[in-house]
Amino acid sequence: DDRQLSDSDLTKILEAAQWTGSSKNLQNWSWVVVQDPAQQARVAECGDFTVPVQNAPTTLCLVEEPNGYEFDTGRLAQNVMLAAAAIGVASCPITLHREAMAHEVLGLPEGARCRYAVTLGYPAPGAGPRRFGGRKPLEEMTHRDRYGS
């Protein structure tokens, strides 16, 4: 579905993002909402696997502000994706491998960085989530007191 996100749906997602937890509640993140196709193309050049950026109507570029924590940016991405799913909006996480290029393309201030983005759009009618396989059994992922135990 090529429709642009409604302002209402985008606002719901951003309001959920606003409430993301952060280290010491510093909230040292922000985002750049990219909807212009030419700017989407420039953002896509900042990463290696960015076809979703070229195809989605909206990309949220997640900005780690100066003195921010990359862990918190991951938390932000997850909140964005969960909020999107809750209202029927599809999403895809993206890594922007060329950090200096992303800094320039997005016009970020000194000390800020953008390594991650989340694409957003309405799924095509009848499209379901892709299934890339199941999950590992808990026994393979759970260790007690020490790794390997």
- Give the pLDDT score at 129: 67
pTM of structure: 0.90
Give the start-to-end residue ranges of the domains of the chain: 7-124
- For 46-71, b/e burial (b = at least 16 CB within 10 A) is bbeebebbeebbbbbbbbbbeebbee
Q: Is the pLDDT of residue 38 over 80?
A: yes
Topology classification of domain 7-124: NADH Oxidase (3.40.109)
Name the average pLDDT for the chain.
94
